[in-house]
Amino acid sequence: MNTLLSVLHLRKCFGQRCLFDLDALTILEACAYVLTGINGSGKSTLLRILAGLETAEAGAASFLGKAVRLSPYPQEMRKTVIYVHQHPVMFSTSVAANIGFGLAARGQSRREIICAVEEAMDWAGIGHLRSSDPLALSGGEKQRVALARAKVLKPKLLLLDEPTASLDGTAREQVIALIPSLTAAGSSVIMATHDRDLIAARAVQRLKLQDGRLQARQNRMRLA
């Protein structure tokens, strides 16, 4: 597999406190990863750094085989790296308008947006909610809207911060079931999580933040 993102000597400090100091981080194309660690270990911070929402010290880095610097955040990454917060922000319009927001901001035609949004809603199983106000949705429905909104942008790297936290059993299963199709479509996915089912999922690589360092381990079987 080809390397999507590689960063050497990634270091994040807050004053005199060093949150983490990672020798190397390598993300392969079309692969799923779970990022684990105790609360306060830096999981969300790492995702935000990779999304360009926070700064950090970094050595050599590459994205899609091209040398880049993480600060200022490169335009080629801004277009293809998408971050989904644990509690995604929703606009009080409609589900369809929320999903199409990023495409409209990119200047896509109305016809292209309608087609992409319909496809994404079918994928996420939320077509029946197209005209609903997202602020009135359940937590699981909001997560699926957020994933659909990210998917239409065709990300190379999708960063999910606790995507199943606070969801009930059915909602969790619905969200987890969407992950394999993202990697099948060519996206790499990193999920910061404490969810045991996600951590144990087949063919998911585990990245564990512990004592400021990163440990990697791969589950053997395929994600399903």
Q: Is the pLDDT of residue 158 over 80?
A: yes
Does the pTM of the predicted model rise above 0.85?
Answer: yes
The pLDDT confidence band at residue 218, using thresholds 50, 70 and 90, is: low
Give the pLDDT confidence score for residue 164 in this predicted structure: 93
- Give the β-pairing of 204-210 and 213-218: antiparallel
Give the pLDDT confidence score for residue 201 in this predicted structure: 84
- Distance, in Å, from the CA atom of 25 to the CA atom of 162, rounded to the nearest integer, reads 20
- Distance, in Å, from the CA atom of 212 to the CA atom of 37, rounded to the nearest integer, reads 10
Mean pLDDT, the chain, integer: 93
In the predicted model, what is the mean pLDDT of residues 147-161?
97
Give the pLDDT confidence score for residue 94 in this predicted structure: 97
Give the pLDDT confidence score for residue 93 in this predicted structure: 95
- Distance, in Å, from the CA atom of 64 to the CA atom of 109, rounded to the nearest integer, reads 28
Q: Is the pLDDT of residue 203 over 90?
A: no
Segment 165-195, tens digit of pLDDT: 889 889 999 999 999 999 999 999 999 999 9
Which CA distances in Å does 213 have to 11, 18, 45, 132, 165?
10, 11, 14, 44, 24
Give the pLDDT confidence score for residue 160 in this predicted structure: 97
Give the pLDDT confidence score for residue 166 in this predicted structure: 80
Segment 43-65, tens digit of pLDDT: 999 999 999 999 999 999 999 99
Give the pLDDT confidence score for residue 76 in this predicted structure: 92
Give the pLDDT confidence score for residue 67 in this predicted structure: 97
Give residue limits of the domains in the chain.
Answer: 30-52+75-206+213-218
Q: Is the pLDDT of residue 162 over 90?
A: yes
Kindly tell me the sign of the dihedral angle through the C-alpha atoms of 54, 172, 25, 64: negative
Give the pLDDT confidence score for residue 221 in this predicted structure: 45
122 exposed, middle or buried (CB, 10 Å; 0-12, 13-18, 19+)? exposed
Give the pLDDT confidence score for residue 224 in this predicted structure: 45
Q: Which fold has domain 30-52+75-206+213-218?
A: Rossmann fold (3.40.50)
